[in-house]
Structure 1
């Protein structure tokens, strides 16, 4: 018998008040929908955490950082040209310098990290414009005081608004006696408030022009290193490794993943574990589907007996009940994905208003859930496989029915 006829018979035997719309079938379907939805949401949150952290790293610190081990000044253009020869796919780079200090404003103080960046190349190398919460990311605008961009957490803690001025106090070592320090104060004007993507960055980061950072820190023309941007973040990891091998000991090369390697490794380990644990819900729902099909076999003894009497083979009966299980699995899978996507939308809505994510614990203040194609395919394959295995026992029970036994029971 052809497949379309078997599918039609399967639907007719399944689509009845006794089976599809009565008994345990609705509960089995509901359990399967919840299991699939839970799996969709959990995988989307894990993928979203990984992609959110990666996006924050590449937007704020570039794809690769080449850090100088020596504090002596040198011509950064020579270093950039050398890197370009080693990695022609590099798009652009910018110098950066880190300086630690203490911010003072309205009687409050906070430890901060000043990051000086070359304002002429800032927007080419980094993606700070997409992270502006208030104001602007333009450090080239005319101003009496040097302009600054700060993290949203720091702005809230210090009560700063766009256009306010604030002071940063830096300890400067005495050239003649390194054990003595003198105080130097830098005055900056707030140009923009950024959502930097990482909790500690939002709480500590102040981004200023490199020249202003060098002046306030009294480091002359020295800089910490170069931030590099490539066409692709994954390629940047390979390029960073090759640069590390080629540049040698005077330089320390790290890519966007290195500074948070433990978090990315944790996600890689936890993803399959969470997938397996949440899949237990689908296993339980599949057992309910199996019991529903067993009941359907008992209720359809007469129909099965008649079908076998008119020539339906044992293999065809197995196919009929297997198709029934796959139909239930497909309906549960579709309903689960719809419910899962709705829950993902609710999660995105709720985390911004209810503070579901603790930045102090998870390193990020919010997660943009990401439903990946590979995760979706894995969920579909696992669900349908589990439902298929759940149909084998009731299908064999129906196939083993003696036609005379089925007619006699009626």
Structure 2
């Protein structure tokens, strides 16, 4: 019986009186645009979050364990303690951060050097997929230390793979800590990277740990360990655990911590944007409701005949309710197609028109991400709204008596 009702509902819907007549096309178009707006907006929000997340994990590792003092220690012993506390640890690498000034062709820029063990850099960091030009491999021997630089810095300083540049580091005098001397280091560009964050692209340099230690004259000292786990989303839990295990001599931070405010903002704004744009779907669904009301009036004779041949009031209500759900599914399919087209246009616009300002949003490009959970939420929300919107016209059709319908004809 339910299959028969669905077939009757579909035949009545596809007639010229219903789907192709009156305000039905415009109502359906409004529903498609509402769903498309939901798909595109959620994809951009999810893309912003995932783009920032992968940038943090790729460039700074999943977790960083930073030493709070300059007291030398055995980093292998520290790695063993971490692995004992967190068996899911894949690998680790020593690192050091150095603030310096890059000078070239009469231009200067403040930069941040990150020195990483050359033998482990590709195991703890994911830089291969971020290469714009050149290579991420710094293992090839050279007389000048290799360096990987952000694309913004490369553009400003007119640097390309194979070019040499110099950085200057102020180092405190051992005899008089209030005075400083200049330490100049020379590096050769191995690759230009898109590091995912605007400020990193503008001032970040990655080099080998020995080269950074030599430049800063710190011997074998290091800032801490970069950790990589089997699952990037496990990093936060591991960070909390290691904080309690390692104690006060170490500061443990995961990839999310340095941009906690941005991630929290996305978490708060996502449901708000979803609700606001859902209003478009809500309005479009009730335009469909008015279309079905008109359809009920136009179908007085058909309803009367259906009741005469034995269909009950509930069956008539089901027929018009199914019509509304059919319209909802058409709107969902059309909306997802248009929404995906909008996502493609957005990706094109941000790459060709500079749609995203890195100075404002911290990132200058978003990889749109249509998540399954967002898609399910959009489908369920749209169908529920369409179902509610069809109840009134369906009840009106169910209340019609066969005599009334035939008399109006």
TM-score when normalising by structure 1: 0.99
Q: Which residue of 2 aligns with 1:112?
A: 111
Gaps of at least 5 residues in structure 2 are none
Q: CA separation in 2, counterparts of 1:74 and 1:10?
A: 76
Uncovered stretches (5+) of structure 1, i.e. residues with no partner? none
1:72 matched to 2:74:
no
How big is the alpha-carbon RMSD for the aligned residues of Structure 1 and Structure 2? Answer: 0.8
| SS in structure 2 at match of 1:74 | coil
> What does the per-residue CA deviation read over 1:290-345, in whole Å, with 9 as the maximum and x for residues that have no partner?
00100000000111112112221110010010011001111011000111111112
The separation in 2 between residues aligned to 1:63 and 1:211, in whole angstroms, is 22
Specify the alignment match of 1:328 in structure 2. 327
Per the alignment, residue 361 of structure 1 pairs with 360
**Hey, what does 1:102 align to over in structure 2?**
101
Report runs of 4+ in structure 1 exceeding 2 Å deviation.
Answer: none
Matches within 5 A, 1:340-351: 340-351=339-350
The 3-state SS of whatever aligns with 1:4 is helix
Q: Which residue of 1 aligns with 2:402?
A: 403
Tell me, what secondary structure is at the counterpart of 1:36? helix
Which residue of structure 2 lines up, in the alignment, with residue 160 of structure 1? 159
Match of 1:58 in 2: 57
1:349 Cα deviation (Å)? 2.1
Q: Secondary structure at the match of 2:87?
A: coil
Q: How far is the alpha carbon of 1:364 from its aligned partner?
A: 0.8
For 1:204, the equivalent position in structure 2 comes to 203
Match of 1:139 in 2: 138
**Cα distance in 2 between the residues matched to 1:121 and 1:14:** 64
How many Å separate the matches in 2 of 1:245 and 1:402?
Answer: 74
Partner residue in 2 for 1:124:
123
Partner residue, 2:318: 319
Secondary structure at the aligned position of 1:254 is classed as strand
Counterpart secondary structure, 1:220: coil
In the alignment, structure 1 residue 293 sits paired with structure 2 residue 272: no
Alpha-carbon displacement from aligned partner over 1:192-244 (angstroms, at most 9, x marks no partner):
10000011100010111111111111111111100000000111211111000
| 3-state SS of 1:91 partner | strand
Q: How many pairs are equivalent?
A: 409
Offset at 1:151?
Answer: 0.3
Q: Secondary structure of 2:89's match?
A: coil
Once the two structures are overlaid, the 10-residue window that deviates more, 303-312 or 47-56, is: 303-312
In 2: Cα distance, 1:409 partner to 1:110 partner: 84
